[in-house]
Every structure is written in structure tokens, then in C-alpha cells.
Amino acid sequence: MSRRLALAACSALLLTAASSDSSRAPILVELFTSEGCSSCPPADRLLQRLDSEAIVLSEHVDYWDHQGWKDRFSSHAFTVRQELYARLFGLDSSYTPEMVIDGAAEFNGSDSARAAQEIAKAARRPKAQVVLARTPAGGLRIEVDSAPAPGDVMLALADPAAQSQVAAGENKGHSLTHVAVVRSLRKIGSVKRGVAFRSEISLPPEAAVQRIVVFVQEDGQARVSGAAMLAERSQGMASPMTARF
């Protein structure tokens, strides 16, 4: 085998070993939560149970931070995102815990029966095919095929798990655990209906130990029409797989 072919084969192996996690359905489950909210821990636990079934994101809002406990994972960006959902769903105001399934349905984040119902509905909807792979240089390759509607391509980086010992506020004295805690969320491109999207982007060093989630969301922060996830590098390298969602 020539040196060029050997290098190409090695690169292909590295890409395959860090490809999208196919163990979860391509359904996006967002939980708007806060460590300052006493109603949120049951919803946090439900999200952890759903983690093996769907692509989950824990988005900590900041409007509880003045109640005695500053949530170290909170971001005003998630508050703004939730407010956009409130307008989309015709709600009077935002609330926690709120679960949103594929941008198409919202409900109390502790309602496990409703979560199962909405995830089943989402599984029957047509989805764009999303393929992710870490590159040997530490970047990310994204491919989106056949989007059913125009929309934004969004990138979320999330800590796989986290724990906090809450010393004040409504959850004072409690140890709280979280899954897929979003640390950044941004638009990386856009898609047109039926047109493929291809891109390769750089990632920050900390992304090696974070989950990478890419999803396609229809214009106006509406329905999510495709999603895929990469596990943190140590887990992804341990179980080589290639997945297309």
C-alpha cells in the first residue's frame, strides 16, 4: 500500500470511529430548567432517563438567579430561546421546568407520560438526514441531506453530566445532577428545502470532552427537522460507529 493510500485509510478510520451516535433516536428533547427552581429536579431526573432514547439538552435559564442561588450553568441566551418558544406556542410567559420536543410541542418538564407521547409522535415525522464526524484535526464535519423545509443549522456543545451542591435558594441543601448541560448554542449555517448542506468547522479544545449536537430547526425557531449527536471523544472512540439520521 502506498503512503498516500495508507494516510487516506487512517483518516477514514479516525472519522468513522468518531461518527454520530446511532443509539438515540434523532429527536431533540430540550429542557428549560434552573437549579434555583424547586420544581425542576424531577424534570432533571426525567431528562436523564430519556437520555438513552433521544438527543437531550439541558438549558439553564437565568431568571431564577436572583432567588438566592446563582445557577453556574445559567445563560441569558437560553432565557431568550425559551421566550421565543413562549411566543411560538402562544404562552403568556416562560416557566420552568418546560420540556420542548422537536420544537413542536411543549409541556411541564416533569410529565413523563406526555414526554413519551410526544417523542412517539416526533418519531413518525419526516426528518432530514444529519451526519457528523470529528476530523483528525479536531474539527467537525457536518452533512445534512434532503431537509423537508428551510431552516437553521444549530450547534450545541454540552457537558455530558454535572452535579451541584446547592447552598441557598429553593433547593438549599440538595445535591442536584444534570445531563447534557448546554454550554454554548449557535447557528452555523442554513439549509434550503431539498438542498444538501456540507460544512467543516473548527471546535474549541473543550469540545473533546463534550457532547456535540447538531440540529436543523425551521425558520422562526419552529419545528426541528433533523438532529444528530456525537458523544464525548473518549466514549466515541471506544465504540466505533457510523450513523445517518
Residue 216 lies in a domain: yes
Supply the pLDDT for residue 18.
Answer: 44
At residue 3, does pLDDT exceed 50? no
At residue 11, does pLDDT exceed 60? no
Q: What is the reported pTM?
A: 0.87
Supply the pLDDT for residue 42.
Answer: 98
What digits encode the pLDDT tens for the residues 158-195? 999 999 999 999 999 999 999 999 999 999 999 999 89
For the chain, the domain total comes to 1
Supply the pLDDT for residue 99.
Answer: 98
Average pLDDT for 18-47:
89
Residue 3 or residue 93, greater confidence: 93
Check residue 80 and give left, alpha or beta (phi > 0: left; psi -120 to 50: alpha). Answer: alpha
Average pLDDT for 214-240:
79
φ, ψ of residue 78 in degrees (nearest 5):
-75, -35
Please give the residue range of the domain that contains residue 196: 3-238
At residue 27, does pLDDT exceed 80? yes
User: In angstroms, rounded to a whole number, what is the distance separating the alpha carbons of residues 13 and 181?
Assistant: 29
Residue 245 lies in a domain: no
Residue 217 lies in a domain: yes
Supply the pLDDT for residue 19.
Answer: 55
At residue 2, does pLDDT exceed 80? no
Alpha helices in the chain (DSSP H): 3-17, 40-50, 76-88, 112-123, 233-238
Q: Sort 223 into a burial class: Cβ within 10 Å, 0-12 / 13-18 / 19+.
A: buried
At residue 201, does pLDDT exceed 90? yes
Q: How many CB atoms lie within 10 A of CB 31?
A: 28
At residue 12, does pLDDT exceed 50? no
Average pLDDT for 117-135:
95
What digits encode the pLDDT tens for the residues 149-160? 999 999 999 999
Residue 175 lies in a domain: yes
Q: If you search the block for the grid coordinates 444528530, which residue do you land on?
A: 228
Residue 244 lies in a domain: no
